A and B are shown apart, each in its own frame.
Chain A
Amino acid sequence: MQIVINALVLGIMYILAALGFAFIFNMLGTINLGHGALYMVGAYLCYYLCAAAGINNWIAMIISAAVLAVVGLLLERVMFRLFLDNFDRIVMISVGIITICQTIANLLTGSKALVIPSYANGLTTIFGMSISNERLVTFGVGLLLLLATLYVVNYTALGRQMEAVAQDRLGAALQGINTNRVSAAVCAIGVGLAAVAGCFMGAYLGLSSSMGDTMNLRILMLVMLAGAGSMNGIIITGTVMGFLDAICQMAFAGNAGSAVPIIIIVILLLIKPKGFFGHDA
């Protein structure tokens, strides 16, 4: 049963981190390779706001998410908008950003094991099972943010405009939609959500300069499995991946625990290269 809880927590964190990546992918037709690095920066920022500045960790999380949302805005303005048709350049800039972020993280962390202070202490007993409040809170907030995002996408003008820009940028512009502004909003929301995931995962698994790479791998696989343009697909595959990770970490010792889920996913992708839920699936 503990596995199910872990799986749900991991799954929802993967989904939060992947949403922004998928939004940017759908909307701008480009891959934000730096997404994992931004997720990591969100976690580190939260940690130092707590540890160095003594700020309450919830408030630190909110500040971190806000700061990274602004970073998302800037990225849209100075990178995606300018190089929309130049994938090579976007990749080069992204790799630069990743390298800088990781180097700084390495310098800061060194060999220390940094962990963001727990967001909630104690245990709660549900159906005769004790679950750590930390997990409950992580899952709860994650679920809330996910539902809020789904609501925005499906039931608001911004969501409609996001879909319009993603499906036909020129068509969207001709309806009078300010496509750049919509892209910017999406980058801000997407990177902000990744930061929140980073803040929770930094408390759950601790900080490391490679946490972004680990998450990037998850995100890439998740979005590929889901298929282009599918929101529901991301949620389903995110949950499945959470389960895979949680189960494999229990069942296999050491590195095999992280390798096995990847092998399973590669096999799934070989079976269905375009993903399971996308428009062209």
Chain B
Amino acid sequence: MSNILEIRDLTVMFGKSIAVHDVNINVPEGGIVTLIGSNGAGKSTTLNATLGIVPMTRGTISFNGEDVTHASTSEKVRKGLVLAPEGRHLFPYLSVYKNLILGATQRKDKEGIQQDLEFCFELFPILKDRLKQKAGTMSGGQQQMLAIARAMMANPKLLCLDEPSLGLAPAVIEDIGEKVREINRTKGTSILLVEQNVHLAFGTASYCYTLQVGELVAEGTVEEIRNNDVVKKAYFGG
């Protein structure tokens, strides 16, 4: 199976401090991969550099068999590399509908946009009921759903999610995990899920990378990582 995303030797420095060092990540086409690690490990930086939101110091990104290391964020989004960022970054004073339509900024296929809108409504029926509501006035869980739906409006081949569980109640987190699997199953969208919530990460993904202070320390199938001593120590206190 070929990889939709290959991150090679990614290094990101902020001034003199190294946030991410020589990180290598593969996401197989149609797969769900998770990247876990504690606060400040460099997870967000890895995603942001992949999208071109922060400059990379070294490394290459290849997407869908194509070198996109020097492509702009717009180009990456157009090619189907899409990120729902940490903290959601919705447009709080715009309606749910306008938020969704803005997700399709790079697309011209009116019919496809309409179909994806329908898909988002099926996935998150609440959004259809709230179309006119301002995004900022919804609950945290609803906002996260909107963030994922907005990203889906770009018709991604790879959907990167940065801590969708942040600040949500356990029941809502469960629901989000279910929806992510549903996206993967019904649309075949590959997923790169960044999480601190290992329960959600392990429940959703099949392959796992573990980041610690900017370096990958363990990778493997979810089963392998569950039983990995380094990870156990970091996450389960023993």
Using a CB–CB cutoff of 8 Å, the interface residues on chain A facing chain B are 157, 160-161, 163-164, 167-168, 170-178, 229, 279
Contacts and interface: CB of A to CB of B under 8 A. Distances in A.
Contacts of B102: 160-161, 164, 172, 175, 177
14 contacts: A157-B105, A163-B93, A168-B90, A171-B85, A171-B88, A171-B89, A171-B90, A174-B82, A174-B83, A175-B106, A176-B73, A176-B106, A177-B102, A177-B105
Nearest to A157: B105
Given A160-B101, A160-B102, A161-B105, A173 B93 contact: no
Contacts of B150: 175
Contacts, number: 65
Contacts of A279: 93
Contact of A168 (B51, B82, B91, B105): B91
Interface of chain A, main secondary structure = helix
B154 A170 contact: no
A276 B125 CA distance: 35
A164 B53 contact: no
B220 interface: no
Chain B CB within 10 Å, residue with most, of A161, A172, A174, A176: A174
Given A157-B105, A168-B92, A175-B106, 18 more contacts: A160-B94, A160-B102, A161-B102, A163-B91, A164-B94, A164-B102, A167-B92, A167-B94, A170-B85, A170-B89, A171-B88, A173-B73, A175-B103, A175-B150, A176-B106, A177-B102, A229-B93, A279-B93
B53 A170 contact: yes
Contacts of A176: 73-74, 76-78, 105-106, 154
Nearest to A279: B93
A175 B105 contact: yes
Interface in B109-152: 150
B228 to A, nearest CB: 32
A177 B74 contact: yes
A276 B150 CA distance: 32
Interface of B: 51, 53, 72-74, 76-78, 82-85, 88-94, 98, 101-103, 105-106, 150, 154
A176 B94 CA distance: 17
B77 A175 contact: yes
B117 to A, nearest CB: 15
A176 B75 CA distance: 7
A158 to B, nearest CB: 11
B94 A175 contact: no
Nearest to A230: B93
A103 to B, nearest CB: 41
B11 to A, nearest CB: 22
A174 B93 contact: no
Given A160-B98, A176-B78, A167 B73 contact: no
B74 A164 contact: no
Contacts of B85: 170-171, 174
B35 to A, nearest CB: 18
Contacts of B76: 176
B128 to A, nearest CB: 20
A171 B91 contact: yes
Contact of A178 (B74, B88, B154): B74
Given A163-B91, A168-B92, A175 B154 contact: yes
Chain B CB within 10 Å, residue with most, of A168, A170, A176, A178: A176
B146 to A, nearest CB: 11
Contacts of A175: 77, 102-103, 105-106, 150, 154
Contact of B53 (A161, A173, A229): A173
A229 B53 CA distance: 25
Contacts of A163: 91, 93-94, 98
